[in-house]
Amino acid sequence: MPKAAGKRGELSGRNSNNSDMAEMKSMFREVLPKQGQLSVEDITTMVLCKPKLLPLKSLTLEKLEKMQQAAQDTIRQQEMAEKEPPQISH
């Protein structure tokens, strides 16, 4: 039973807080200026942008792979040229 009594006390405490807030609001009244500038503060929120696709390979890596492929091609061509017997033309 003591637990239930504690919960009732908490609920009544919340209600008294709400009534206190109402009393505080009634103590202050809203004042709007008749001359000058009115400033309004805006709460910043997150803006979701369109996702950007990133390449799987960097441009530098692609250039290095192309250079390596070109070097391997030239080596193959040189090996093929060496394997062929020289043709003697008369």
The answer to whether 38 and 32 have CB atoms below 8 angstroms apart is yes
Say yes or no to pLDDT of 12 above 70: no
- Summarised one tens digit per residue, pLDDT across range 15-65 is 556 666 666 666 777 777 788 877 777 788 888 889 888 878 888 999 999
Please tell me what DSSP assigns to residue 44.
Answer: -
> What Å distances lie between residue 34 and 30, 31, 37, CA to CA?
13, 9, 9
With 90 as the cut, is the pLDDT of residue 2 above it?
Answer: no
Please determine, for residue 73, whether its predicted confidence score (pLDDT) is greater than 90: yes
- Token pair listed for 1: 């039973």
- Residue 79 clears pLDDT 80, i.e. is over it: yes
In which element (H, E) is residue 78 found? helix 59-83
